[in-house]
């Protein structure tokens, strides 16, 4: 396996002050740096953002210099509010279609849904596979159980079922019907109601999904909710508890290595 993987992490506001993408990025970039396998570039317009071992560039400079062509794997945690320039979107599509890997993180899923006022970006929804639509919902930030559906896959080998605390997305849709492989699922308990009075689905909901876009391998991680402040949405929602299980961290790091351009 390549031990000098060029990883580019795109960090932008997902919900205009919602999901704490910068705190998550700092944590995950530190996690990636500790492996010694990645050369890290963070793309972020916040001038104070920094992360161990990562070069940090603003979006305009990154795209003006066409740095995206250097990436072996792109981690995307950047919503419609920042990532809506057609020329930049095309550069991302061309990179992934050409073989660069793509990892899509929790919180991005409704960010290009026109029904909630977003500008459409169909190609990124094809990369991600599962997206937020009318039937989609989530309960409060709460305890949930995760099972491994593909224990033979390199991302999942040796991992076993585990408990975590997270915001579980339910009934996400494969909007464009792209081929997907579910690697892990979490149980949505119908006996547990959200603060909106909605019960769980009683189904195992996908939380780690593998796909393909052109020559690029893609991975959609629906776990990892972190809010910047407590809203009453569930104890711990404003902490890094969702990333506490070693299995979640391992899935993320392995997905970045597995999906990277070889």
Is the domain defined by 5-259 classed in CATH 3.40.50.880?
yes
Yes or no: say if 135 and 205 are a contact pair by the CB < 8 Å rule: no
Looking from the CA of 186 toward its CB, the CA atoms found within 13 Å total 29
For residue 101, give the 3-state DSSP assignment. strand
Alpha-helix residue ranges (DSSP H) falling in the chain: 21-35, 59-64, 86-97, 122-128, 246-259
Judged by DSSP in three states, 117 sits in: coil
Q: Is residue 163 packed enough to be buried (19+ CB in 10 Å), middle (13-18) or exposed (0-12)?
A: exposed
The pTM of the full predicted model, rounded to 2 decimals, is: 0.96
What are the residues facing 103 on neighbouring strands? 75, 219
**25 touches 32 (CB < 8 A):** no
Buried-state track 186-222, b at ≥16 Cβ within 10 A, e below 16: bbbbeeeebeeeeebbeebbbbbbbbbbbebbbbbbb
* Full pLDDT tens readout for the chain, 262 residues: 456 999 999 999 766 667 999 999 999 999 999 999 999 999 999 999 999 899 999 999 999 999 999 999 999 999 888 899 999 999 999 999 999 999 999 988 999 999 888 899 999 999 999 999 999 998 889 999 999 999 999 999 999 999 999 999 999 999 999 999 999 999 999 988 777 788 889 999 999 999 999 999 999 999 999 999 998 889 999 999 999 999 999 999 999 999 999 8
Q: How far apart are CA 44 and CA 9, in angstroms?
A: 9
Query: Which residues, listed in sequence order, are joined to residue 164 by a DSSP beta bridge?
Result: 144
């Amino acid at each position: 396996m390549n031990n000098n993987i060029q990883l580019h992490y795109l960090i932008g506001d997902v919900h205009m002050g919602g999901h704490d993408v910068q705190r998550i990025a700092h944590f995950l970039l530190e996690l990636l740096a500790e492996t010694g396998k990645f050369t890290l570039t963070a793309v972020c317009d916040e001038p104070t953002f920094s992360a161990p071992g990562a070069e940090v560039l603003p979006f305009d400079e990154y795209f003006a210099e066409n740095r995206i062509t250097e990436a072996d794997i792109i981690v995307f945690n950047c919503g419609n509010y920042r990532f809506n320039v057609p020329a930049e979107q095309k550069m991302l599509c061309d990179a992934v279609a050409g073989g660069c890997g793509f990892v899509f993180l929790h919180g991005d899923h409704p960010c290009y849904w026109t029904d909630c006022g977003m500008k459409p970006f169909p190609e990124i929804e094809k990369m991600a596979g599962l997206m937020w639509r009318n039937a989609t919902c989530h309960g409060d930030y709460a305890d949930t159980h995760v099972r491994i559906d593909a224990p033979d896959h390199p991302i999942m080998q040796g991992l076993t079922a585990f408990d975590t605390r997270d915001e579980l997305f339910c009934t996400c849709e494969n909007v464009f019907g792209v081929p997907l492989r579910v690697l892990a699922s979490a149980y949505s308990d119908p006996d547990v109601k959200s603060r909106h009075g909605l019960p769980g689905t009683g189904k195992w909901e996908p939380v780690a999904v593998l796909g393909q876009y052109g020559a690029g391998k893609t991975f959609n991680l629906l776990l990892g909710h972190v809010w910047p402040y407590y809203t009453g949405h569930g104890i711990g929602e404003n902490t890094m508890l969702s990333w506490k299980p070693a299995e979640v961290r391992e899935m993320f790091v392995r997905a970045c290595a597995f999906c990277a351009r070889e």
